[in-house]
Chain A
Amino acid sequence: METLEFRFASPPAGTAADPALCGVVGSGNLEILIRAGDDPAACQLSIKTSARGFGQVWQAVLGDFAAGHAAGGTQVAINDMGATPAVVTLRLAQALTEYRGGAQ
């Protein structure tokens, strides 16, 4: 297992009442928990992944996410079981939508 931490500048997501969870820690899948963070201009991410040595890929995928979405003021925790970058990108967007109240 590898633990990774990132912090990216991102426009504020707005304040949400509740944390949001999506995904399951199953093969090729991951779960993402988003809750309020302390810096409204930054998205903090912490990842535990079963696949070692993919730090640069994570950095690229998560950096794209933070640049393309208003995700500032959030703290994102991820448990990963070998999800591909495409799955990670989709789940992040899904989790952020749920967090901001547009569930489903």
Chain B
Amino acid sequence: MNAPLARRSWFEATARARIAGLLDAGSFSEWLPPAAAQPSPHLAQLELPGAFDDGVVIGYGKLEKKPIFVIAQEGQFMGGAVGEIHGAKIVGTLRRAAVEKPAAVLFLIDSGGVRLHEANAGLIAISEIMRAVLDARAAGVPVIALVGGSCGAFGGMGIVAKLCSAILISEEGRLALSGPEVIETVMGVEEFDAKDRALVWRVTGGKHRYLMGDCAALVDDDLAAFRTGAADFLVAWQEPAPSPALLRAAQQSLENRLAAYGELRDGLDVWAALGITDPAAVPLLERDELVALKEGLPT
């Protein structure tokens, strides 16, 4: 009777399709919709066509009937990069969240970081986003990063992702600071071969990030899986009050991690050091198998 619903890839979907698949049907209302928004004046000066929404969709809706604010970056437009208007829309949404206190802000990150065309305006936007994420969290509003788009979360948006309450990621998602091409350009191909896609994913990909504890959950590349993952996470999550003790503990765990894995060159070596008996099998594991593997690891 009930045919299984076809899987709908998060990776392939546009920002607007992701929002439609994530929230309760028909519940989304957009702030500054395309007809009301203004394309980037910086891109116009450089003779480049802008996008009506400047590459990010913001608004509010419901997830399992809870009020939610949403920010969704469009990776297909300029690599999801953060320009002045794009950044201002994100900051405005986060500041409003700190005042109106929705159940959460869902931040659908798909971005290579700062939009270089807008230089300082983009850099300032990133720093404002960082502050706004922390302010929303300090006001008790969880900010959840969802990472599974083609641009991943890199550069300034990699930092922003780590400032969020938690990250949900798919195997296709990537998270890091400098992107693979940047590292290769600056440090040489001996340091990092950006053309080796398998290596890129073993170092920055969703499975590695999940195994390392950088991400709270690994979900399938599927709109419904992200929806269920976000809803389940929110049920179990209580935003902690910011404290020096939490920061010290996080710093200590980073120092421990650097000491344990800092010399290793490849995800395969790190997974072996984590106690995984057959690291070479990890890239081929299904999501459920990997989650079971992680839960069985010594802590």
A contacts, CB < 8 Å to B:
1, 19, 21, 24-27, 29, 31, 33, 35, 48-50, 77, 79-81
* B76 and A1 form a contact (CB under 8 A): no
Q: How far is the CB of B108 from chain A (nearest CB, A)?
A: 14
Decide: A1 near B49, CB < 8 A? Known: A19-B33, A21-B34, A33-B35: yes
* B279 CB within 8 Å of chain A: no
Contacting residues of chain B (67-82) with chain A, CB-CB under 8 angstroms: 74, 76-78
Q: A19-B34, A24-B76 are in contact. List 18 more A-B contacts (CB 8 A).
A: A1-B44, A1-B47, A1-B49, A19-B35, A21-B16, A21-B33, A21-B34, A21-B52, A24-B74, A25-B77, A26-B76, A26-B77, A31-B51, A33-B52, A35-B35, A48-B49, A77-B52, A81-B49
Q: Tell me the complex Cα distance, A49–B44, Å.
A: 11
* A1 and B48 form a contact (CB under 8 A): yes
CB contacts (< 8 Å) of A33 on chain B: these are 34-35, 52
* A50 and B49 form a contact (CB under 8 A): yes
Q: Tell me the complex Cα distance, A1–B16, Å.
A: 26
Q: Chain B's interface: helix, strand, loop or mixed, by majority?
A: loop
* B14 CB within 8 Å of chain A: yes
Q: Tell me the complex Cα distance, A29–B14, Å.
A: 12
The contact string, 1 if C-beta is below 8 Å from chain A, for chain B 37-65, is: 00100001001111110000000000000
Q: Tell me the complex Cα distance, A24–B73, Å.
A: 12
- Count CB-based A-B contacts (< 8 Å): 47
Q: List 10 A-B contacts (CB under 8 A).
A: A1-B44, A1-B47, A1-B49, A21-B34, A21-B52, A25-B78, A27-B76, A33-B35, A49-B49, A50-B49
A77 (CB) vs chain B CBs: closest residue? B52
Decide: A29 near B49, CB < 8 A? Known: A19-B34, A24-B14: no
Contacting residues of chain B (7-45) with chain A, CB-CB under 8 angstroms: 14, 16, 33-35, 39, 44
B contacts, CB < 8 Å to A:
14, 16, 33-35, 39, 44, 47-52, 74, 76-78
CB contacts (< 8 Å) of B16 on chain A: these are 21
Q: How far is the CB of A46 from chain B (nearest CB, A)?
A: 12
Q: How far is the CB of B111 from chain A (nearest CB, A)?
A: 14
CB contacts (< 8 Å) of B52 on chain A: these are 21, 31, 33, 77, 79
Q: How far is the CB of B149 from chain A (nearest CB, A)?
A: 12
CB contacts (< 8 Å) of A25 on chain B: these are 49-51, 76-78
Which single member of B14, B33, B49, B74 contacts A79 (CB below 8 Å)?
A: B49
Q: Which of A24, A25, A35, A80 has the most CB of B within 10 A?
A: A25
A104 (CB) vs chain B CBs: closest residue? B20
CB contacts (< 8 Å) of B51 on chain A: these are 24-25, 31, 79
Q: Tell me the complex Cα distance, A1–B47, Å.
A: 5
Q: Tell me the complex Cα distance, A56–B189, Å.
A: 46
